[in-house]
Amino acid sequence: RVLAGPREDLAGRHVVVSAGGTREAIDPVRFIGNRSSGLQGYALARTAVARGAEVTLVAANVTLPDPAGAKVVRVESARQLREAVLAAAEHADAVVMAAAVADFRPVRQSDTKIKKSSAEPDPIHLVKNPDILAELGEVRRARREAYATRDAGGAAAAGGRETGDGPGAATQAPGDGPHPRVIVGFAAETDDVLANGRAKLERKGCDLLVVNQVGENLAFGTPDNAAVVLTAEGGSVEISRGPKEDLADVVWDLVVQRLA
């Protein structure tokens, strides 16, 4: 048991955080990966534990020690990350997608190590990975619609929601609202940071999008981060350069506000 910090404002909440970067296998020894260290996601998990939350941390290829008090699920590929996040999200109040998910994976994965020969190598053909953040938003949108339909039909009385047949309705507690109640994305952008971020938030249907500017030793593998958090209502909150814990606490402040 970890002693919670002074703020217990996430007590009784279950939050899911994804962290790290996925790897997409080419053959048994090679993969397509990215530079994500997992530091920001781990800072989010640690601060959520400190604020009293039950935390599920889905970690993709992170070499950091497990944060005390969090349930850690280790995954490698985007498809494994999707399974783990969607399963944990069923009962989550909030999901924060801090992981860098590979957009593409090789169409075929060789069962044996690809050997070098005198000929030029074959090209590696890629296919798109599922967009997990967009899927979370889509699942919740469908659930909201099912709720609204049932409410309109007058069947929302006590217990009505648990027997509904709408998408995911069976897993929802009555009166609890469609889960996850808060969905947070991260975006690393190199140019047109705010415009790209705004379009991305709308496209993915999330509530908050934390937009990082990548480059100049910011973001990847460094202890510090600077960001702007965009909200679904069109607002923005600037977070000046500082420890990833500080950014994490601002994210949880905004999540707590939305859960209230």
Q: Per the annotation, does 259 bind a ligand? A: no
Q: Per the annotation, does 183 bind a ligand? A: no
- 92 belongs to the binding site for ligand CTP (CB under 6 A): no
Tokens of 50: 């400190």
Q: Per the annotation, does 71 bind a ligand? A: no
d(CA 242, CA 246): 7
Whose tokens are 């790290």? That residue is 20
- 185 belongs to the binding site for ligand CTP (CB under 6 A): yes
Residue number, 49 or 97, with CB nearest to ligand CTP: 97
Q: Name which of residues 48 to 107 contact Ca ion (CB under 5 A).
A: 103
Burial 98-115 (b: 16+ CB within 10 A, else e): bbbbbeebbeeeeeeeee
d(CA 127, CA 133): 18
d(CA 107, CA 192): 31
Question: Of Ca ion, ligand CTP, none, which one does residue 77 interact with (CB within 5 to 8 Å by kind)?
Answer: none
- 89 belongs to the binding site for ligand CTP (CB under 6 A): no
> Helix 193-204 to helix 132-152 angle, to the nearest 10 degrees?
50
Q: Per the annotation, does 204 bind a ligand? A: yes
Q: Which one of 43, 50, 169, 187 is in contact with ligand CTP (CB under 6 A)?
A: 187
Q: Name which of residues 184 to 223 contact Ca ion (CB under 5 A).
A: none
Residue number, 96 or 169, with CB nearest to ligand CTP: 96
Helices assigned H by DSSP within 51-131: 78-89
- Closest of 8, 4, 9, 11 to residue 54, by C-alpha: 11
Question: Of ligand CTP, Ca ion, none, which one does residue 186 interact with (CB within 5 to 8 Å by kind)?
Answer: ligand CTP
- Footprint of Ca ion (CB under 5 A): 103
The site for ligand CTP (CB under 6 A) is made up of 78, 97, 99, 101, 103, 129, 131-133, 185-188, 200
Residue set of the binding site for CTP: 103, 113, 130-133, 186, 200, 204
